[in-house]
A and B are shown apart, each in its own frame.
Chain A
Amino acid sequence: MRNGSREFVLESDARAGTDLLAAVASAHASGPGAALTWADSGSARTCRRMWLDTFDWRLYRAGLTLEQIARSGLAELVLTGRDGDVLATERMEDGLKPGWPGLLRELPAGPLRELLEPVAGVRALAPVARATSRVLEQRALNGDAKTVAKLCVDRMSVTYPGRAAAPARLTLVPVRGYQTQADKIGRALGALPGVSDGRMSALDTALAAAGARAGERPGKASAVELSPVMPAATAMAAILTALLDALEANVSGTIKDIDTEFLHDLRIAVRWTRSALKLCGRALPDGLARRFRPEFRWLGDLTAPTRDLDVYLLGFPDMAAGLVGATESELAPFHDHLIRSRMAAHAQLSRGLRSARFSRLTSDWRSELAAVRPARKRPMAAQLAAERIGTAQRQALTAGRLINAASPAESLHELRKRCKELRYLVEMFGSLHDPAQRWQAVRELKSLQDCLGEFQDAEVQTAEIRAFAAQMLADRSAPSETLLAMGEIAAGLARRQRRARSEFDGRFADFASPDSQARLAALTRTAA
């Protein structure tokens, strides 16, 4: 039950007929006692193929390919690794197969789901390519009329992401125990004109035929290629356009509620845009940042309630599992309340994203960015980066040094905001710095951010759970045991917050250390 197959591509489809097989048989027969004939395995099989991945290609980037193959009422999901080896399969009857896009929890429990879970995480799987394959199998027979290898000729019509006919793919599958003969056939086949080694996977072939490519992540601001000497206005326009691309790429998935990461990524694009406008807006033509900042603030506010509830719901299983006094079932009314609140928040968010205000914002913003021209006396990208990173670094240090044991939570929140701004600037102007140096520079900053994030999340969630409890009490949807269980969660949040607070001093000391600061300062020198 081994495979060890070899792939070829027919550059010209005219060769896929009998002349190809005859040519292989003739080349093969050149050796002693090497008679080879071909037999048809019967009529061609047609199957519908669909490749699935997350919106940000997590499977592809992890070297995995997930394909759903459907034929005659049966569908099978096949997960393969980098070298094409099958890692897991899942058979499904047509009526029982999940509709895509869909979350992993809709798949039956088993090895396939277990292998996908750590890679896809909370992301939904959605079709990235669709095709119909017509496969004709030929059997290579030795002198005893015994099959020694099978040659599958696959003609694939791609239907998504575009309509196109892919070049015919040949798969030579040796029969176990006849590898030598199959290798010989493979050599004869590979030597024929018009036949080339099929180094591309079926997915890559389908995408290439449709003019697409796998693994592309939409609009990552840190991936924008900047030059140190380009005008700062041009650099900012490029960064902000990439952020707008990312924002727009996530709108449909957010409205359709495919998975929670669409909104998360949309919010990241909004947050980066707001920070970029705040910190570097002066590099843009007069009044542009001032005009758009309130609009992006509106967008940030519009998206916040749904995301806050998503964070609650995503962390719910862990919170429930951590209960000591109460039971998980006692939390069910709270879970129901969160779901209802989230549905209402999402409906409001969708209305906002479908509104004329939102479409005006994005279209006006895109045209304004496209029209940005550098003014004569504006700085270069490297100067702007160095100046802004330097300022943000100083502000973060000052805010941190003011914090003592008596400081209120707001002071830590303020520091968190300064740290985020510093981090965004470092990432935004990332292409101006050496990646390894950048990574070194932000190591302590990341550690401090994690601690501040934990502290602030616990702070927000504690306030929220109190508000939820008051709300549920008012509309009489919470039995006393549910309120008690929520109290236990609140106590857990308080413990988390205390732990984060106790770690703060050490983390800040690391960040403020001369070495760490020197590494950050080096970025401002290389950028300048």
Chain B
Amino acid sequence: MKIFATYNIKGGVGKTSTAVNLGYLAARDGYRVLLWDLDPQGAASFLFRVKPRVKGGGKGLIRGTRSIDAAIKGTDYNNLDLLPADFTYRNLDLLLDSAKRPTRRLATLLAPLKAEYDVVILDCPPSFSLLSESVLRAADLLLVPLIPTTLSVRTLDQLTGFVAELNGHRPDVLAFFSMIDRRKRLHLQIAAELPAARTDFAVTVIPALSVIERMSVQRAPVTAFAPRSQAARQYRALWGEARQRARLAMPGDGRGAG
């Protein structure tokens, strides 16, 4: 089981769009996928038409009094399940703080799902907190969407610096430019220069396209309702890079019976 996390300190950079589309593409490739909507705003849950509600809330999950298993909902797509958001997730930091080994809590909670899923995608809320640290400890690959500005790149450097200083498990980092506005010269310039100069950048960029915004109207991944669109093509290319970077085995490889 490989754990991917879409993460950025900033909000509105395309984390949820990335999580939802990559989750759909992975499932379509034949991987058994679980997407955990960790953001109390519940955007990913909304896009999959699942009520953002978990029995027992975040407290039940973090303390282990409620099983993750019982909270999982099937989406409308084969092989793709969702662990919905819950408004109580806004308190996850506090809950983690009172848990044993808080930074390893997410990894511990996800470990029993190894037999059932090949891919887990964590859609993280925009923050830098105990939850973020727990995500970093659990994830194999951190997918970091960035709007091409100098400040965003600085934020990425801070993040990679923090990851490098972690003891024990450290996720690999794959940043990519998101919401690129082709009318903005700065966007184009940064997007053209940076990926070539760094090893933690994806070649693929996700442009700002109205079809991506239409996801909230269609309540479906753009890769599902507009598979021939430019947006879908870019997400497919990004998934290809992410899968390769995470060294994800072919679907079914090494999977036992049952």
- Pair B257/A146 contact, Cβ less than 8 Å: no
Chain B residues with CB under 8 Å of A178's CB are 73-74
- Pair A176/B72 contact, Cβ less than 8 Å: yes
A230 to nearest B CB, angstroms? 50
A74 to nearest B CB, angstroms? 12
Closest A residue, CB atoms, query B73: A177
Chain B residues with CB under 8 Å of A177's CB are 50, 71-74
Report how far A139 CA is from B76 CA in the complex, Å: 9
Q: Which residue of the partner chain, among B48, B49, B73, B257, contacts A176 with CB atoms under 8 Å?
A: B73
B196 to nearest A CB, angstroms? 39
Task: Please tell me if B137 contacts chain A, counting CB pairs below 8 Å.
Answer: no
Report how far A86 CA is from B49 CA in the complex, Å: 29
Chain A residues 106 to 148 lying within 8 A of chain B, measured CB to CB, are 111-112, 115, 139, 144-147
Chain B residues 66 to 97 lying within 8 A of chain A, measured CB to CB, are 71-76, 79, 81
Interface residues of B (CB under 8 A from A): 32, 48-51, 71-76, 79, 81, 116-117, 219, 252, 256-258
Task: Please tell me if A91 contacts chain B, counting CB pairs below 8 Å.
Answer: yes
What are 10 A-B pairs with beta-carbon distances under 8 A? A86-B258, A87-B257, A91-B252, A139-B76, A144-B51, A147-B76, A175-B73, A176-B81, A177-B50, A178-B74
5 A-B pairs with the lowest CB-CB distances in the bound complex, closest first: A177-B73, A176-B74, A146-B49, A175-B74, A111-B257
B154 to nearest A CB, angstroms? 41
- Pair A87/B258 contact, Cβ less than 8 Å: yes
Report how far A115 CA is from B74 CA in the complex, Å: 29
A19 to nearest B CB, angstroms? 25
Closest A residue, CB atoms, query B258: A87
B218 to nearest A CB, angstroms? 11
Q: How many residues of A contact B (CB 8 A)?
A: 17
Chain A residues with CB under 8 Å of B79's CB are 1
Supposing A145-B49, A146-B76 touch, asked if A1 and B32 sit within 8 A by C-beta, the answer is yes
Task: Please tell me if A88 contacts chain B, counting CB pairs below 8 Å.
Answer: yes
Q: Which residue of the partner chain, among A1, A139, A147, contacts B81 with CB atoms under 8 Å?
A: A1
Report how far A91 CA is from B30 CA in the complex, Å: 12
Report how far A87 CA is from B256 CA in the complex, Å: 9
Chain B residues with CB under 8 Å of A144's CB are 49, 51
Interface residues of A (CB under 8 A from B): 1, 86-88, 91, 111-112, 115, 139, 144-147, 175-178
Chain A residues with CB under 8 Å of B49's CB are 144-146
- Pair B256/A111 contact, Cβ less than 8 Å: yes
Sample of 20 more A-B contacts, CB < 8 Å, known A115-B257, A175-B74:
A1-B32, A1-B116, A1-B117, A87-B257, A88-B257, A88-B258, A91-B252, A144-B49, A144-B51, A145-B219, A146-B48, A175-B73, A175-B75, A175-B76, A176-B72, A176-B74, A177-B71, A177-B73, A177-B74, A178-B74
Chain A residues with CB under 8 Å of B73's CB are 175-178
Q: Summarize B's interface: helix, strand, loop or mixed.
A: loop
Report how far A146 CA is from B84 CA in the complex, Å: 14
Closest A residue, CB atoms, query B48: A146
Chain B residues with CB under 8 Å of A87's CB are 257-258
B81 to nearest A CB, angstroms? 6
Report how far A147 CA is from B50 CA in the complex, Å: 10
Chain A residues with CB under 8 Å of B48's CB are 146
Report how far A146 CA is from B79 CA in the complex, Å: 16
Report how far A144 CA is from B46 CA in the complex, Å: 10
Report how far A145 CA is from B74 CA in the complex, Å: 14
B241 to nearest A CB, angstroms? 26
Report how far A91 CA is from B253 CA in the complex, Å: 12
Which of A111, A112, A176 has most chain B Cβ within 10 Å?
A: A176
Chain B residues with CB under 8 Å of A91's CB are 252
Report how far A115 CA is from B256 CA in the complex, Å: 12
Report how far A115 CA is from B258 CA in the complex, Å: 12
Chain B residues with CB under 8 Å of A1's CB are 32, 79, 81, 116-117
Report how far A144 CA is from B53 CA in the complex, Å: 14
Chain A residues with CB under 8 Å of B257's CB are 87-88, 111-112, 115
A143 to nearest B CB, angstroms? 10
Report how far A177 CA is from B75 CA in the complex, Å: 9
B53 to nearest A CB, angstroms? 11
Report how far A67 CA is from B239 CA in the complex, Å: 34
Closest B residue, CB atoms, query A90: B252
Report how far A88 CA is from B252 CA in the complex, Å: 11
Report how far A87 CA is from B258 CA in the complex, Å: 5
B54 to nearest A CB, angstroms? 10
Closest A residue, CB atoms, query B80: A1
Chain B residues with CB under 8 Å of A111's CB are 256-257
Chain A residues with CB under 8 Å of B76's CB are 139, 146-147, 175
Report how far A274 CA is from B23 CA in the complex, Å: 69
B48 to nearest A CB, angstroms? 8
Chain A residues with CB under 8 Å of B219's CB are 145
B58 to nearest A CB, angstroms? 17
A112 to nearest B CB, angstroms? 8
B17 to nearest A CB, angstroms? 20
Chain A residues with CB under 8 Å of B81's CB are 1, 176
Which of A1, A91, A115, A147 has most chain B Cβ within 10 Å?
A: A1
A185 to nearest B CB, angstroms? 15
Report how far A189 CA is from B218 CA in the complex, Å: 30
Report how far A178 CA is from B76 CA in the complex, Å: 12
Report how far A144 CA is from B74 CA in the complex, Å: 14
Report how far A111 CA is from B71 CA in the complex, Å: 30
Closest B residue, CB atoms, query A145: B49
Report how far A192 CA is from B35 CA in the complex, Å: 38
Chain A residues with CB under 8 Å of B71's CB are 177
Report how far A139 CA is from B74 CA in the complex, Å: 13
Chain B residues with CB under 8 Å of A139's CB are 76
Report how far A86 CA is from B257 CA in the complex, Å: 8
Chain A residues with CB under 8 Å of B75's CB are 175
B227 to nearest A CB, angstroms? 14
B83 to nearest A CB, angstroms? 10
Closest B residue, CB atoms, query A144: B49
Report how far A452 CA is from B72 CA in the complex, Å: 62
Which of B49, B50, B72, B76 has most chain A Cβ within 10 Å?
A: B76
A104 to nearest B CB, angstroms? 16
A109 to nearest B CB, angstroms? 13
Closest B residue, CB atoms, query A146: B49
B114 to nearest A CB, angstroms? 13
Closest A residue, CB atoms, query B30: A91
Closest B residue, CB atoms, query A91: B252
Chain B residues with CB under 8 Å of A147's CB are 74, 76
Chain A residues with CB under 8 Å of B74's CB are 147, 175-178
Report how far A175 CA is from B48 CA in the complex, Å: 13
A69 to nearest B CB, angstroms? 15
Which of A87, A144, A146 has most chain B Cβ within 10 Å?
A: A146
B119 to nearest A CB, angstroms? 12
B151 to nearest A CB, angstroms? 38
Chain A residues with CB under 8 Å of B50's CB are 146, 177
Report how far A145 CA is from B256 CA in the complex, Å: 35
B217 to nearest A CB, angstroms? 12
